Amino acid sequence: MMDSKEAYADSHQKIPYRRRAWLWVASALIFWSLVGYRNRFNNGRPLEEKPGEKVGNVHWEQCKSFPHSDCGSITVPKDYFNSEAGTAKIAFARYNATKLPKKGSVFLNPGGPGGAGMRLATFLGPKIAALVGPQWDLIGFDPRGIGMTTPAVRCFPDPIAERLFLSNTVIEQGITVSSIANLSSETLRDELLLQYEQFLAMKQAQAQLCEKNMGDELKYMGTATVVRDIEFMSKVFDGEDAPINYWGGSYGSILGTYLVNMLPDRVGHVLIDGIADAVQWSSEPSRYWPRNWLSSTESTYELFLKDCAQAGPRLCALAHSVGQPWQNIERRLESFFSKLAHSPLPVPFGVRPGFLTSGAARGLMLINLYSPSLWPQNAENFAQAMKGNATALFNTMVPDYRLDNGGRSGSRDLSRLAVTCLDSPPPSSPEDYPTAEELVDVGLETLRARSIHFGLSTGISEPDGGCEYWPVRGPERFTGPWNATLRTPMLIISNTYDPITPIASGLKINSLMPNSSILVIQNGPGHCSLSMPSLCTIKQSLQYFAGEMPTNGTLCQVDQPTFPDEKEEDFRLQALSASDRELLEAAEEVGKWMLEQKLS
Ligand SMILES: *[C@@H]1O[C@H](CO)[C@@H](O)[C@H](O)[C@H]1NC(C)=O
Ligand SMILES: *[C@@H]1O[C@H](CO)[C@@H](O)[C@H](O)[C@H]1NC(C)=O
Ligand SMILES: *[C@@H]1O[C@H](CO)[C@@H](O)[C@H](O)[C@H]1NC(C)=O
Ligand SMILES: *[C@@H]1O[C@H](CO)[C@@H](O)[C@H](O)[C@H]1NC(C)=O
Ligand SMILES: *[C@@H]1O[C@H](CO)[C@@H](O)[C@H](O)[C@H]1NC(C)=O
Ligand SMILES: *[C@@H]1O[C@H](CO)[C@@H](O)[C@H](O)[C@H]1NC(C)=O
């Protein structure tokens, strides 16, 4: 993960392409989630809590290795509705505007939930500045419970205990659906039931660990509290009445939607990308979320298969001949998933010794769809696995436990659940707790109605569920209304083929705020627009942050094919102006980093 420290020493240096990069691709709502968070500042450890910290205090410290950014922490009320609760300390970094006059600060969120954001303003600072313009200070911060912010989520006694707990379970490997041929089959039902029984037992164990090791400290990590933190920081950094500006994708779109609707009179420029449906997020338990998330997944999978078939075996290792029917590739993959369900593949020489299950392979194919720039590499990994060598594919899923050094910095612990369980509605009584049977029913319905291939495959990238056992509720849960009137419309960016944050959700948020939002549609695949950057989309964002409103409904094309021929790619890039090339490189770098932050 963030192991190659030296590579990050210079924030202008290119991110080295790492073999396992794409894997970290995932969590949609995570997408932009940060793991492997190993900032040199404080060695990635949570900040010490010193007694007597006063609310509003800001400590500035030098960001080690990032001379162009300032790092620091700010003391905020732990609970904005109860001053007795004490304080929390938000870790942040600021990348200064490089051109005067300054227009204000833009708060950044990398997704998740569970993503730490300081790095967005340290080593990615110059790249994000290229995407929003030079006149903004960029503020990256670690949201509640996450990274170096305190209190941090520490439900597990240590990261090794967490890793041992998860290894080879349904939470790590995903749910196996042995065959999609007959969704009414009793055999399939029985297989699923066993897996969901294990799932529920694990969720109870997690919740009991959190109760014992975190207790009430877990109450202050919901999205509404993070919105209050952003407002608090904005007042301290920019002044009482300064507009709050924001940039975020994936889960960051949830945070952005909460922000504009909780504080409509306070916000200025707000860009959200890769839209998750905040209305559903706040009003339904997480077992129903995939119904919305997966509404473009099948069409994205089909696009992947078609592009692969058309590219042929030289560019896409899953194709057997140029222009063969894409359905042939789909059938071969499906028989691979079915075979694995009964005979998992041994992986003796992976990151750790292990085996590849069908659930894992299907989940990894879904994660693959998030990141079109890695489609060729992924096709190669799947092709190898189908020939019996699953090492490369397995390695994309399993974090390298050796990188943890027994320390904390590589572990996200349960920071995602700490957010989702406070945001979603609690069951009214234990009689309402979902049983394994009910989870099977909901899952089968998602397969039937939404995504026959991946309806049960979101678990690896979006590890939700079990909030009925969560030990605490927060002081504030925002549930709308979602139709705020804003002085400056919010910019919404949606891809036509986003496998986890579908365009339907972008259209929905846009339709709730018809006069206060602008939808720009990127006609291409991938999770969030930066997963396959388009110069057109980038320029719409730049224009927006410069104060010129894009036209609602603008359709932007992507610039490159999904299975590119390297020589043709070189020609294409050479044909661009130097400034366009720079924009595209900045976007690619930010997009790649965001997608690398998946899983932990
Ligand atoms: C950023 O700007 C502030 C205020 O103008 C200044 O005090 C600080 O030194 C600047 N930081 C860097 C790294 O240039
Ligand atoms: C599907 O499974 C059910 C239950 O096992 C069985 O009754 C039905 O005949 C199967 N349908 C097909 C098309 O095989
Ligand atoms: C299996 O794949 C891995 C990773 O691609 C490679 O290093 C290894 O040599 C392969 N093993 C065999 C037996 O081909
Ligand atoms: C916004 O939605 C709320 C609740 O759904 C509704 O009562 C209110 O009339 C709406 N406001 C506007 C301006 O449409
Ligand atoms: C949006 O603006 C139009 C034209 O000014 C107006 O007719 C309409 O009522 C507005 N809709 C909302 C929801 O504010
Ligand atoms: C904005 O554009 C979207 C996408 O074309 C469309 O669905 C929506 O109706 C438009 N909104 C307004 C207010 O015209």
* Torsion angle of the four alpha carbons 228, 229, 235, 238, in this order, in degrees rounded to the nearest 10: -130
Question: Distance from the CA of 185 to the center of ligand 2, in angstroms?
Answer: 5
Show the beta-strand stretches assigned E in 110-231.
Answer: 136-141
Both structure tokens of 381? 């990994």
| Nearest ligand, CA 125 | 1
The reply to whether ligand 3 has any atom less than 6 angstroms from the CB of 391 is yes
- Residue identifier of the C-alpha nearest atom 6 of ligand 4: 481
**Residue among 519, 522, 523, 556 to mutate when testing ligand 6 (max atoms within 8 A of CB):** 519
Is 82 touching ligand 5 by the criterion CB < 6 Å?
no
Instruction: From first to last of the 600 residues of the chain, give the pLDDT tens digit.
Output: 222 222 222 222 332 233 333 333 334 344 333 332 333 344 445 555 555 689 999 999 889 889 899 999 999 999 999 999 999 999 999 999 999 999 999 999 999 898 889 999 998 999 999 999 999 999 999 999 999 999 999 999 998 899 999 999 999 999 999 999 999 999 999 999 999 999 999 999 999 999 999 999 999 999 999 999 999 999 999 999 999 999 999 999 999 999 999 999 999 999 999 999 999 999 999 999 999 999 999 999 999 999 999 999 999 999 999 999 999 999 999 999 999 999 999 999 999 999 999 999 999 999 999 999 999 999 999 999 999 999 999 999 987 777 653 333 456 899 999 999 999 999 889 999 999 999 999 999 999 999 999 999 999 999 999 999 999 999 999 999 999 999 999 999 999 999 999 999 999 999 999 999 999 999 999 999 999 999 999 999 999 999 999 999 999 999 999 999 999 999 999 999 999 999 999 999 999 988 876 543
Q: At 444, is the secondary structure helix, strand, or coil?
A: helix
Helix locations, 371-412, DSSP H: 375-386, 391-397
Q: For ligand 6, atom 9, name the residue with the nearest CA.
A: 511
Q: Is the CB of 481 under 6 A from ligand 5?
A: no
**CA 110 to centroid of chain Cα atoms:** 7
Task: Say yes or no: CB of residue 389 within 6 Å of ligand 3.
Answer: yes
Torsion angle defined by CA atoms of residues 523, 525, 529 and 530, in that order, rounded to the nearest 10 degrees: -130
**Closest listed ligand to the CA of 184:** 2
* Closest ligand to residue 350's CA: 3
Q: 331: CA distance to ligand 2 center in Å?
A: 21
Q: In one letter, which amino acid is 565?
A: D
Q: What is the pTM of this model?
A: 0.92
The conformation of residue 503, written as its DSSP 8-state character, comes to H
Name the token pair of 247: 């940039």
Q: Residue 465 and residue 29: Cα distance in Å, rounded? A: 14
> How many Å apart are CA 21 and CA 396, to the nearest integer?
7
Question: Hey, what's the torsion of the CAs at 230, 233, 237, 239, to 10 degrees?
Answer: 80
CB 529 within 8 A of CB 537: yes
- 515 CB under 6 A from ligand 5? yes
C-alpha 290/C-alpha 295 separation (Å) is 8
Phi-psi map region of 310: left, alpha, beta (phi>0 left; psi -120 to 50 alpha) = alpha
CA distance 413 to 272: 26
Distance CA 385, CA 254 (A): 36
Cis peptide before 113 (omega within 30 of 0): yes
Query: Looking up tokens 């209304």, which residue turns up?
Result: 481
Residue 179 in contact with residue 387, Cβ under 8 Å? no
Nearest to 116 by CA among 149, 67, 157: 149
Q: What is the DSSP letter of 150?
A: B
Taking the C-alpha atoms of residue 233 and residue 116, their distance in angstroms, rounded to an integer, is 16
- Tokens read off for 424: 């979603």
Neighbours of 391 (CB within 10 A): 18
Q: What are phi and psi of 554, to 5 degrees?
A: -55, 135
Whether 483 lines ligand 4, by a CB cut-off of 6 Å, is yes
**Which ligand 2 atom is the nearest neighbour of the CA of 187?**
5
Residues near 407 by Cβ (< 8 Å), separated by ≥ 6? 44, 45, 159
Residue 148 three-state SS? coil
Q: Outline where DSSP puts E strands in 186-331.
A: 244-250, 267-275
Among 586, 519, 524, 582, CA closest to 558: 524
Give the per-residue pLDDT at 594. Answer: 84
> What does the pLDDT read at residue 403?
64
Determine the atom of ligand 4 nearest the C-alpha atom of 485: 13
Ligand number with the minimum distance to the CA of 63: 1
Tell me the C-alpha distance between 462 and 400, whole Å.
19
Number of helical H runs and strand E runs in the chain: 21, 12
- Look at ligand 1, atom 9, and give the residue with the nearest C-alpha: 70
E strand map for 267-383? 267-275, 345-347, 354-356
Q: Using the mean position of ligand 6's atoms as its centre, give its distance from the Cα of residue 553 in Å.
A: 6
Round to whole Å and give the CA distance between 281 and 248: 17
User: Residue 399's pLDDT is what?
Assistant: 76
For residue 232, the number of C-alpha atoms closer than 13 Å in the C-beta half-sphere is 25
Rounded Cα gap, residues 253 and 293, in angstroms? 13
**What are phi and psi for residue 115, nearest 5 degrees?**
-85, 130
- Alpha carbon of 300 to ligand 5 centroid (Å): 34
Token digits for 469?
Answer: 């056992």
> What pLDDT sits at residue 49?
52
End-to-end CA separation in angstroms for the chain: 9
pLDDT for the residue 598? 53
Q: Measured between alpha carbons, how far is 42 from 142 in angstroms, rounded to an integer?
A: 13
The DSSP-derived string for 38-93 is: --SGGGGPPPPPPTTPPTT-EEEEE-TT-TTEEEEEEEEESSTT-GGG-EEEEEEE
State whether the beta carbon of 67 lies less than 6 angstroms from ligand 5.
no
Structural Rg of the chain based on CA atoms? 23
Atom of ligand 6 nearest to the CA of 514: 13
Residues 256, 260, 262, 267, Cα dihedral to 10°: 110
User: What's the 482 CA to ligand 4 centre distance in angstroms?
Assistant: 8
Ligand closest to CA 179: 2
CA-nearest residue, atom 3 of ligand 4? 481
- Which residue in the block uniquely carries the two structure tokens 């069951």? 427
The answer to whether the CB of 2 falls within 8 A of the CB of 38 is: yes
Q: Cα–Cα distance between 180 and 189 in angstroms, integer?
A: 12
- Pull the structure tokens for residue 570: 């070189």
The contacts of residue 164 (CB under 8 Å, 6+ apart) are: none
CA of 288 to the centre of ligand 2 (A): 26
Q: Which residue bears the tokens 């300032």?
A: 70
For 133: left if phi > 0, alpha if psi spans -120 to 50, otherwise beta; the answer is: left
